Chain A
């Protein structure tokens, strides 16, 4: 310590604050630019006439893009599809994931291999797994499901034509189940065995222990899984692109695919920007509800 550093305390802290702020500034500024500028540009474009097919038509359009998009029935169906997709996949992966986590917590022969296998789908790229399901599982002629149905004498179903959104829900659930199993299994394993034994002494059977001891214990892990999955599920794109291309009609178009359709199939950047803003609003509404119902568990 040199003599010059021994100064009245508030003086030192004032200098510290300035120095710290100066050091923090680059990070804050770049983060600000990184997150705010695209948003501002999106908002800017959403008020402009901007169609790549009609480069000569530019200028302000006021709320034209908004009026156009909000009156477009495909928007409501895309919002509905997005919510349905996210919620269904959440229910399936968390539900099945919890059961599998409990199962994989038990001792049984071949558990090590089973655990590796259940995690495998997570390591397959979305495009690849969608192709896999499209051509090898759900194809009406040579898909595995068609084979199964034929072998019991049923007529094979053209999954992507008959139930496009359901098919995509199945594919995405298959991809995200391992993630849920992984996080929930860790949580199941962290349950103190004495707590289970105490419940057994209290007369609880396996179901009681699951319902009153394990589920409350899993609450935080489930919350975290729901949040993380939601963030990714809102933007599902590759699976749709590869399998149904959003069709038939708009039956399997979610918001991110709708944005793609506007921007790159109809070259309507203005319209796509509005759809993007709708997506942001939707994500925030979902996030708000998630936070309210789950986030309080995270800081217990």
Chain B
């Protein structure tokens, strides 16, 4: 049982406020991912939870106990650093058992605990090596091992995979998810990579400039982004956006004016007044190729990326927006070709001028 609760947490360095009032509950045994662009305060938030930075205002509870003034080591958390921060003069075993040694655990017990952790991480054969004699992935595992050995209430990870190459990153991602299930532990994982967030998280927290933009399961965020920022941040390739104006509202739905790209009929759209400006969002997989008869939205193909199983077609719409389509891998579309695009009306997202999503229920 381990929950973390943040109430109105703020952090200022000198006069600059970096974390601007975060309310958040991290549930027991869940893997929660903090995601957001570089500099948004993910690491700072994690370090506040860890106790490495002092909380300027607000309350932090772990298992219901207020821990603002509890020193890091006594919060029962373990942090895995981006740089691994292994102790270079100690071998793997000493690295992993350092916390136990400090805590006064006797030698045999230490050895047993370290061996258990090493077995989970497949590190048994490396126990005598110094960190510099290990590969990046092995160092990463030692850093995780150092956390496991402490049997913490909550694991904290700060971009632990960002120093690894692409293939290893995918493998470690999988191993971490497995480890999460195996240990049944509460974990907080920081990353700026939304793919990592989507694939690993039970729950994602999207941060921007020190503010929580949205909290939810990966699918929640994917299908119901609360605003333009989340819509654009989650999903790869990124969601397409088109400017539109409400032209006419009738019993069968609304007609939106897409400028040069023509008109778009959508199911009823009651509360939007005529003339209101909107942003339409549509995922690349919901934008499809069409015949000129089906769609007046024409576009010029710029680049086609073939990934094998699928292809990304980057186009410039006649109205000027750059759009991307996710299409079949066998597509025959070529650059400079003129295409027509079909927007599937049931998968559209609408955002008002402030960038807030217009809730789906109003779209019926």
Chain A residues with a Cβ under 8 A of chain B: 192, 194-195, 197-204, 208, 212-213, 216-217, 219
Chain B contributes a number of interface residues (CB within 8 A of A) equal to: 24
Q: Which of B50, B52, B83 contacts A192 (CB 8 A)?
A: B83
Known: A202-B99, A203-B74, A217-B88. 6 other contacts (CB 8 A): A192-B85, A195-B86, A198-B85, A200-B73, A201-B79, A216-B89
Chain B residue with the shortest CB-CB distance to A217:
B89
CB of B77 closer than 8 Å to a CB of A: yes
Q: How far does the Cβ of B84 sit from chain A's closest Cβ, in whole Å? A: 8
Given A203-B73, A203-B99, A203-B103: A198 in contact with B89 (beta carbons within 8 A): no
List residues 68-124 of chain B with CB under 8 A from any CB of chain A: 71-74, 77-79, 81-83, 85-90, 98-99, 102-103
CB of B150 closer than 8 Å to a CB of A: yes
CB of B192 closer than 8 Å to a CB of A: no
A197 & B52 in contact (Cβ 8 Å cutoff): yes
B72 & A200 in contact (Cβ 8 Å cutoff): yes
- What separation, in Å, do the CA atoms of A192 and B98 have in the docked complex? 17
B150 & A202 in contact (Cβ 8 Å cutoff): yes
CB of B10 closer than 8 Å to a CB of A: no
19 pairs of residues in contact across A and B, judged by CB atoms under 8 Å: A194-B81, A195-B85, A195-B86, A197-B52, A198-B79, A198-B146, A200-B52, A200-B71, A201-B50, A201-B73, A201-B77, A201-B79, A201-B99, A202-B150, A203-B73, A203-B99, A203-B102, A216-B87, A219-B89
Q: How far does the Cβ of A195 sit from chain B's closest Cβ, in whole Å? A: 5
Chain B residue with the shortest CB-CB distance to A195:
B85
Chain B contacts for A202, CB-based, 8 A: 73, 98-99, 102, 146, 150
A197 & B146 in contact (Cβ 8 Å cutoff): no
Chain B contacts for A198, CB-based, 8 A: 79, 81, 85-87, 146
A199 & B77 in contact (Cβ 8 Å cutoff): no
A212 & B73 in contact (Cβ 8 Å cutoff): no
Given A202-B146, A203-B73: A197 in contact with B81 (beta carbons within 8 A): yes
Chain A contacts for B86, CB-based, 8 A: 195, 198
Chain A contacts for B90, CB-based, 8 A: 216
